[in-house]
């Protein structure tokens, strides 16, 4: 598992270079990605076979850290969020959908397709929720003034 988390750190750093994250922030986005993936793996140990829950929780955590980093470092939150959620993106589901579709097994293909869409939905929902929470916090601060 340590190997996987290290892989996550380096992989997310590589991804950050490809999408052009500023040099001084690249370490932070690597840590966000690695921590998110560690949460994902811990969830897998705790609740095996619940892939959607894993993706949801990990994305919530990544989104939370991104918002905190954005406020601390005065940078757009996207810089940490985009590389951070990359490990959770359901690449395996996409592959299996294509694989079984080309093999002619449409039942299994559609099963994997629906699971891929569900995982993508879980990721979207997690980002939605965290964004909304932070917006409420911001509004509340304005109200208090």
Partner 1 sequence: MKKKDKLETVEADAVVMKESMEKEHLSRQERQAQYKLLMDTALLAGQIMLKSGAETYRVEDTICRILQTSGLETAETFATVTGLFVTLADPSIDAITQIARVSEKQSNLSQVYDVNDISRSLCGGKITVQEAYDRLLVIKKKQEYPLHMVYIGIVMTSSFFTLLLGGGVLASCLSALNGLCIVLCRHITGKVKLNNFITDMLSSFIIAVGTMFYAHMIHNSAIVEITIVGSIMPLVPGVAITNAIRDTLQGDYLSGGSRAIEAFVIAACIAVGIGVGLAFSTVVIGGSML
- Residue 114 engages partner 1 in binding (rule: CB under 8 A): no
Tokens of 48: 């095996």
- Residue 133 engages partner 1 in binding (rule: CB under 8 A): no
- Residue 10 engages partner 1 in binding (rule: CB under 8 A): yes
Taking a C-beta distance cutoff of 8 angstroms, is the pair 79, 21 a contact? yes
- Residue 105 engages partner 1 in binding (rule: CB under 8 A): no
Dist. CA 19–CA 102, nearest whole Å: 31
How far apart are CB 116 and partner 1 at their closest, in Å?
A: 9
Angle subtended at Cα 62 by Cα 91 and Cα 53, rounded to the nearest 5 degrees: 60
Torsion of Cα atoms, 19 then 24 then 27 then 30, to 10° = -20
- Of positions 46, 47, 50, 76, contacts partner 1 by CB under 8 A: 76
How far apart are CB 108 and partner 1 at their closest, in Å?
A: 13
Taking a C-beta distance cutoff of 8 angstroms, is the pair 84, 29 a contact? yes
Q: Please give the residue ranges that form the binding site for partner 1 (CB under 8 A).
A: 3-4, 6-8, 10-11, 13-23, 25, 37, 71, 74-76, 78-79, 81-83, 85-87, 89, 91-92, 94-99, 101-103, 120, 123-124, 127-128, 131-132, 138, 141-142, 144-145
């Amino acid at each position: 598992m340590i190997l996987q988390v290290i892989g996550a750190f380096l992989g997310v750093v590589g991804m950050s270079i490809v999408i052009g994250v500023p040099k001084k922030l690249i370490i932070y986005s690597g840590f966000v990605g690695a921590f998110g993936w560690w949460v994902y793996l811990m969830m897998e140990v705790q609740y095996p076979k619940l892939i959607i829950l894993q993706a949801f929780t990990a994305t919530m955590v990544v989104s939370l850290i991104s918002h905190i980093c954005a406020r601390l470092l005065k940078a757009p939150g996207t810089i940490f969020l985009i590389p951070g959620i990359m490990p959770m993106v359901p690449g395996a589901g996409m592959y299996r959908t294509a694989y079984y579709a080309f093999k002619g097994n449409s039942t299994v293909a559609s099963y994997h397709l629906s699971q891929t869409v569900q995982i993508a939905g879980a990721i979207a929902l997690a980002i939605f929720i965290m964004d909304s929470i932070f917006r409420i916090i911001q509004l509340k601060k304005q109200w208090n003034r």
